[in-house]
Each structure stands twice: as C-alpha cells, then as structure tokens.
Amino acid sequence: MASEHPLPDTLVDLIAQRFRALGEPSRIRILESLRDRPCTVQELAQTLGFTQQNVSKHLGLLLSLGIVSRRKEGGFSYYSIEDESVLRMCDEVCGALQRQIAELHELIGEGGRP
C-alpha cells in the first residue's frame, strides 16, 4: 500500500524550482560571488567573465525565486543573497563531495599498493 507523500504538491513544485535554479553552474558561480558582498551586474560580469546580459538573465530568475534581493543605489542595482539557506545547502553538498573525493583517493592509494 502506497503511503501519501507528506509535502503538498505546490510545495514540491517550489522545491523543484529551487533545485532547477541551482542546477545551472553559472548561477552557482554568481551566488558564490555574492557570498561576501553585494555586487552589481557589471561587477559580476567582470569577475566571472560573463556578459552583462547573461548575468542579468540569471539574476532575474534568482530574484523571482527569492534567492537574491536587489537594492537600488544611485544608477546601480546591487544584488545580494536573500535566502541564506541556499548557501548552507551549497556548503553541505561541497562538504559531501570533498568527503567522497577523499575516500576515493584513499581507496585508490590503498588499491595501488603491492
């Protein structure tokens, strides 16, 4: 007998949107660049080597999902991380990958010994 999933469909859809947004490497690079300080589209484009149009497109999606926020100052818009849980999730995934890589290196090192 199949059990009912505890999450409402609407919430599952929102979670899937978040994961899809984070599934794009360029967006992860943008979020990492915003980790320490707010940046403009121009600063992000220059730092990451992306076009301003590309950065704007990605920031627009992240903004619509509430992952980043925007504040205007003079003629510039500064973007910053709005949802810190995204950074914590990235840190968790990174830590898990580092552990897996260390385990693989250990296995390869032990397997190569006579």
Mean per-residue pLDDT, 54-76:
96
pLDDT band at residue 51 under the 50/70/90 scheme: very high
Least confident range of 10-14, 57-61, 76-80, 81-85: 10-14
User: Domain ranges in the chain?
Assistant: 9-82
* DSSP element (H, E) containing 35: none
| Options 2.60.40.10, 1.10.275.10, 1.10.10.10, 1.10.10.60; CATH of 9-82 | 1.10.10.10
Over the stretch 13-47, which tens digit does the pLDDT of each residue have? 988 999 999 999 999 999 999 999 999 999 999 99
* DSSP element (H, E) containing 78: strand 76-81
- Rg value, the chain, Cα: 19
| Cβ atoms 72, 79 nearer than 8 A | no
- State the pTM of this model: 0.79
Q: What angle do CA 95, 43, 86 make, to 5 degrees?
A: 30
